[in-house]
Amino acid sequence: KGFPQLYIGEFATLSKEQQVTTENAVKEVIRRLRSYQTVDGAFSYWPGGTSSNAWGTVYATHFLLSAEAKGYLVPDGMKRNVLNNLRRVARDWKPVSSYYVRSEEMTQAYRLYVLALGQVPEVGAMNRLKENKSLTPMSRWLLAAGYALVGRPDVSKELVVKTTALTTACSGYDQTFGSDLRDTSIRLMTFCLLGDGKEAALLANEISKTLASDDWLSTQSTAFSLVALSDYMKKYKVSGSMDFSYT
């Protein structure tokens, strides 16, 4: 719940009371994450857990880095330990032969993106993953975003061009808690990094419609949507005047 609340102030005018409530909620999530961290630096699915959750660990790290960028105090030890864990796992990662192959691969791509976001990229691991001939579309998008962050938009564009029809992994073997909205948001994040305003505008419109609907959304889908739309609004500023009608 804390992740979307990092961005809600950019999309709505909050009262002083709402600002305090939102800030306290984010601080509480950061505080509680201590009880989720395992001895190897990763995060478990439940507080006090001893086994880590791969996607959850990367997602929690993404949240911590975003919170820190927004001015929240993130314990240095907690951040350092999880980044070290992600680097170690990223370096040692190999494709698996199981029903979870797509989830494992996408988690590695997300891991590499978050490491690049945290300014400790594992370029060697990125290059190895890029050479995988059977990379799924969403793994390509996340990896492309990582390459854009490390200053290689050429490689990023090459990966995006090769993407095929998008299908969200919604099977019982999906370990990334995926949704169409989450995946569309990842694509928007990548287009913003690459400066492709035309494609970004189409996706921003699509995401806005979903957020404005009465559809049930997971907290992860909402968070990714607001992260992506925030990136879009910073990159492509709205002019001072607007012309529209509403009902």
Other CB atoms within 10 A of residue 109 CB? 28
CA atoms of 212 and 180, how far apart (whole Å) = 15
The pLDDT score that the predictor gives to residue 171 is: 62
Backbone angles phi, psi at 44, to 5 degrees: -85, 170
In the predicted structure, residue 125 carries a pLDDT above the cut 90: yes
Do 148 and 193 touch, CB atoms closer than 8 A?
Answer: yes
* Cα distances (Å, whole numbers) of residue 225 to 63, 137, 182: 13, 19, 7
Residues with Cβ within 8 Å of residue 36, at least 6 apart in sequence = 43, 44, 46, 47, 48, 49, 60
Residues with Cβ within 8 Å of residue 17, at least 6 apart in sequence = none
| DSSP helix/strand/coil, 243 | coil
152 or 173, which is more confident? Answer: 152
In the predicted structure, residue 244 carries a pLDDT above the cut 60: yes
Between CA 162 and CA 47, with CA 58 as vertex, the angle to 5 degrees is: 150
CA atoms of 114 and 149, how far apart (whole Å) = 10
pLDDT, average across residues 205-210: 96
Between CA 244 and CA 172, with CA 209 as vertex, the angle to 5 degrees is: 175
CA atoms of 58 and 40, how far apart (whole Å) = 14
Do 115 and 122 touch, CB atoms closer than 8 A?
Answer: yes
28 or 134, which is more confident? Answer: 28
The mean predicted confidence, pLDDT, of the chain is: 92
CA atoms of 55 and 107, how far apart (whole Å) = 6
The pLDDT score that the predictor gives to residue 240 is: 76
